Structure 1
Amino acid sequence: MLVSLLFLLWGVANNMNDTLLAAFKRIMSMSDLQTSLVQFSFYGAYFCFALPAAIFISRHTYKAGILLGLAFYAAGCMLFYPAAATASYGFFLFAIYVMAGGCAILETTANPYILSMGPAATATRRLNIAQTLNPLGAICGILASRHFILSELNAADAAERGNMDTQALAAIQSHELFSISRTYMLIGGLLLALFIVIALTRMPVDKGSAHSGIAGSFRRLAHNKRWSYGVIAQFFYVGAQTGVWSFTIRLVMSELGMNESDSSLIFLYSIIAFTGFRFIFTWLMGYVSPAILLAVSSITAIICTACVILCDGTAAIIALVAISGCMSLMFPTIYGIALDGISGDDAKIAASGLIMAILGGALITPVQAAVSDAAGISLSFIVPLACFIIITIYITGIIRKNNATR
């Protein structure tokens, strides 16, 4: 249960992060490309921390990896206070990087830990069950952001702020930035409490296998096309998810004329759809293969994303919410399919590769932001559309291979 709780915790960070883009755009009068540095810092940390985390848990235990991840996560949350005190966007990005480093360690540790806790035949379904807590964390994160951050934003837009005197603007920004820091510091306190509970709790120890070295693991994995192509698919999935959710509030503001706080309700509806369909897909996996479900969801996501681009107003927003329902099973299912047949220390290194693929959120989001600045927020969704096409190509290849080996 404690391990499953970790899935909720990084869901909080991921989706509060999405609302920070809208917050910083308002507070510091930034472009979409500038605010996308929030996601670059967050998901860039995943790339940097995942492999060291895998090496760490290979040499120690999964429990040690969990404690290390919680320590980094909490430290990053606490760094939001000096970031607000200095009113430095760069400091905020550093705090986000440290916090995300902790999330990366937790994901690198918890995902293979869950897969190791039972028979291989049900590993993907088991991971999907544990991942159901992730969107619940996302809902908690969005509600916290809406009530403690977005609701505290001053209504003045970039033009109005540009006409303010320095002292008045600084006072407004200080209030807004400290509303962010207080929220994250509260989360940091909760993480420290959980750190103590887990440190005092006995947890199952993975038996592992004879350690053959990182180089040996990478050589074997390089010849495993299911895994290597899975890393590519995961890269584009995370890029799609991050882009869709990062610009949900912006799209709603553009299409329906709402402010940030009211637009966050649509984001909340998206996460509720994500949560509900996660349970539905997990139940369906008892009857339909995960690969078939992933193919259906990715094709449907392509259709919904095209509707976001081509439609206006309410129709576009309905399609936007539907995308989240389609995405609900993608991450854990790609993860489980890519790791199928991999065990021992190879599984730990392979898991780190799939977590490093979260770099897609850092690199693809700025591309979508640049398209948004140049051609408009609606057309920017052509970027996640391309990502869903790549996922569809991957999973149809897996299905063909599975049919050929029967």
Structure 2
Amino acid sequence: MASSAVIIENQGAESPTSVSQNNQFALISLTTLFFMWGFITCLNDILIPYLKDAFALSYTKAMLVQFCFFGAYFIVSLPAGALVSKIGYKRGIVVGLAVACLGCLLFYPASVMGVYGIFLLALFILASGITILQVSANPFVSALGPSKTASSRLTMTQAFNALGTTVAPFFGAWLIFNGIASGVEQNDNVSSEAVQIPYLMLAASLMVLAVIFSKLTLPDLGRNDQAQISPRKAWKFKHLKLGAVGIFLYVGAEVAIGSFLVSFLHEPTIAGMEEAEAARFIAYYWGGAMVGRFVGAFVMQYIAAGKVLAFNAVMVIVLIALAITCDGAVAMWSIIAVGLFNSIMFPTIFSLAIQDLGDATSNAAGVLCLAIVGGAIVPLLQGVLADMLGVQLAFILPAACYVFIAYYGLSGSKPVAINEKG
């Protein structure tokens, strides 16, 4: 029952990204950012089981990794939206890269001191930088072409985010778990020292990107009178409110599944894998998301984005039900296959939620990034369920999240004008 207002129409000879030649360079440059923050975010899925063993944590305490990382979105998103409105998307990207670089550098003293709390602080600062990047880059991509193909364009760039999440598990498993297996764990500080090289490499990469983006010639967008617009104006749109709930639940469910994937595959009744081997299978989960985003970018040129979103949500519910009720290979591959159908959800919910918002779009982007705090709350709640019911039954929680996402795709994403009181 998606409204015709959200249908992605066939634009004839129009390319999937629907951008002019002048904007193509900007779009290509932005894909590197989507790759990097996907890479960094996915490393948390390796970091969680690693720190859980290193500090002998419960599932609930281990999920504080995601709580601190995604909690930064809640605290930083609105200030980041105000900052970007003043300095523009390009400078916002540079600031975000610099802050993320600082967070990566803090992993070194955290590893030397071997204190879990300092790791959490480093993750919070790193995520603060990623939040600024999100607030800058997502609306930047949406602005680089016609609004009718914004979902397709954002999905295409998000495919490179998924490429980063696909590569990261191999990188993390090789460098982090390989350090544990090498025998250096005989030193009490080794479990923390194993993260030094990966995060120092990330810090160097982020700094190089910050320098490059500071020199690039990109469209001067995002810095205008929107800085004086109250965020309350954006909140008057019903489809934005529901979209924020959708982002909250989707990010929470996606992060929770990825966070528990290693532990799930480690279960004797599922696959009984060692953690280093199971960590590599995260790449299949995120690799499915990458493939799905390239396919989705094409499909949504012809089919209403809301309908595609609802279909994918229903498929995920079915797959999680199989993962909960079955054992062995069926459960294992069902949960991994969720990544394929997760693929288009974030960019689709995001672009549907900001559709037809006019000059409130900049603040709306900040509101939606605020909702990414779901990645802090839902995994933590699933950690509580895992401690109480076991890892397998705990997947009931993300399954419930996708029920609302199916509703949003079918009905809740219909654009509604500002109420008369506004």
With structure 2 as the length reference, what TM-score do the two structures score? 0.88
How big is each residue's C-alpha offset from its partner over 1:18-71, in whole Å with a ceiling of 9 and x where there is no partner?
111110112111111111000001000111111111101111111110011001
Q: Distance in 1 between matches of 2:158 and 2:364?
A: 19
1:190 counterpart = 2:205: yes
1:38 counterpart = 2:65: yes
Describe the SS at the equivalent of 1:104. helix
Q: Distance in 2 between matches of 1:369 and 1:18?
A: 14
Partner in structure 2 of residue 388 of structure 1: 402
Q: Distance in 1 between matches of 2:372 and 2:170?
A: 24
1:68 counterpart = 2:95: yes
Shift in CA distance, 36/244, structure 1 to aligned 2, threshold 3 Å: same
Shift in CA distance, 369/279, structure 1 to aligned 2, threshold 3 Å: same
Match of 1:256 among 271, 291, 296: 271
How big is each residue's C-alpha offset from its partner over 1:376-402, in whole Å with a ceiling of 9 and x where there is no partner?
000000010110011112222147789
1:287 counterpart = 2:302: yes
Partner in structure 2 of residue 242 of structure 1: 255
Partner in structure 2 of residue 180 of structure 1: 195
Query: What letter matches 2:173 in structure 1?
Result: R
Q: Distance in 2 between matches of 1:179 and 1:120?
A: 45
Q: Distance in 2 between matches of 1:267 and 1:239?
A: 17
Q: Distance in 2 between matches of 1:207 and 1:54?
A: 10
Partner in structure 2 of residue 22 of structure 1: 49
C-alpha displacement of 1:146: 0.9
Q: Percent identity?
A: 30
| Pairing 1:260-339 to 2, within 5 Å after superposition | 260-339=275-354
Q: Distance in 2 between matches of 1:362 and 1:11?
A: 16
| Contact 2:226–2:362 (8 Å) recurs in 1 | no
Q: Distance in 1 between matches of 2:408 and 2:331?
A: 27
Partner in structure 2 of residue 162 of structure 1: none
Partner in structure 2 of residue 161 of structure 1: none
Describe the SS at the equivalent of 1:377. coil
Query: What letter matches 2:390 in structure 1?
Result: G
Describe the SS at the equivalent of 1:153. helix
| Contact 1:129–1:282 (8 Å) recurs in 2 | yes
C-alpha displacement of 1:173: 4.0
Describe the SS at the equivalent of 2:195. helix
1:351 counterpart = 2:365: yes
Structure 2 portions without partners, runs of 5+: 1-27, 417-422
Q: Distance in 1 between matches of 2:58 and 2:222?
A: 50
For the aligned residues, what is the CA RMSD? 1.8
Q: Distance in 1 between matches of 2:136 and 2:35?
A: 14
| Contact 1:19–1:142 (8 Å) recurs in 2 | yes
Q: Distance in 1 between matches of 2:123 and 2:200?
A: 12
Q: Distance in 1 between matches of 2:264 and 2:366?
A: 33
C-alpha displacement of 1:154: 4.7
C-alpha displacement of 1:200: 1.5
Shift in CA distance, 173/357, structure 1 to aligned 2, threshold 3 Å: farther
1:397 counterpart = 2:411: yes
Structure 1 portions without partners, runs of 5+: 157-167
| Contact 1:27–1:173 (8 Å) recurs in 2 | no
| Contact 1:75–1:98 (8 Å) recurs in 2 | yes
| Contact 1:27–1:153 (8 Å) recurs in 2 | no
| Contact 2:84–2:222 (8 Å) recurs in 1 | no
**Higher deviation after alignment, 331-340 or 277-286:** 277-286
Query: What letter matches 1:230 in structure 2?
Result: G
Describe the SS at the equivalent of 1:315. helix
Shift in CA distance, 207/99, structure 1 to aligned 2, threshold 3 Å: closer
Shift in CA distance, 220/193, structure 1 to aligned 2, threshold 3 Å: same
Query: What letter matches 2:247 in structure 1?
Result: Q
With structure 1 as the length reference, what TM-score do the two structures score? 0.92
Shift in CA distance, 352/211, structure 1 to aligned 2, threshold 3 Å: closer
Q: Distance in 1 between matches of 2:118 and 2:224?
A: 42
Query: What letter matches 1:288 in structure 2?
Result: I
| Pairing 1:220-235 to 2, within 5 Å after superposition | 220-235=233-248
Q: Distance in 1 between matches of 2:232 and 2:163?
A: 38
| Contact 1:26–1:153 (8 Å) recurs in 2 | no
Describe the SS at the equivalent of 2:217. coil
Q: Distance in 2 between matches of 1:109 and 1:270?
A: 27
Q: Distance in 1 between matches of 2:227 and 2:168?
A: 40
| Pairing 1:146-185 to 2, within 5 Å after superposition | 146-154=173-181, 171-185=186-200
| Contact 1:154–1:172 (8 Å) recurs in 2 | no
| Contact 1:71–1:102 (8 Å) recurs in 2 | yes
| Contact 1:148–1:183 (8 Å) recurs in 2 | yes
Shift in CA distance, 93/2, structure 1 to aligned 2, threshold 3 Å: same
| Contact 2:239–2:413 (8 Å) recurs in 1 | no
Describe the SS at the equivalent of 2:194. helix
Query: What letter matches 2:365 in structure 1?
Result: A
Partner in structure 2 of residue 121 of structure 1: 148
| Pairing 1:209-224 to 2, within 5 Å after superposition | 210-211=225-226, 213-215=228-230, 218-224=231-237
Shift in CA distance, 270/173, structure 1 to aligned 2, threshold 3 Å: farther
Describe the SS at the equivalent of 1:256. coil
Q: Distance in 1 between matches of 2:211 and 2:391?
A: 44
Q: Distance in 1 between matches of 2:355 and 2:140?
A: 14
Shift in CA distance, 187/401, structure 1 to aligned 2, threshold 3 Å: closer
C-alpha displacement of 1:208: 5.8
C-alpha displacement of 1:140: 2.2
Q: How many correspondences in the alignment?
A: 387
Match of 1:206 among 207, 215, 221: 221
C-alpha displacement of 1:174: 1.7
Partner in structure 1 of residue 4 of structure 2: none
C-alpha displacement of 1:113: 0.5
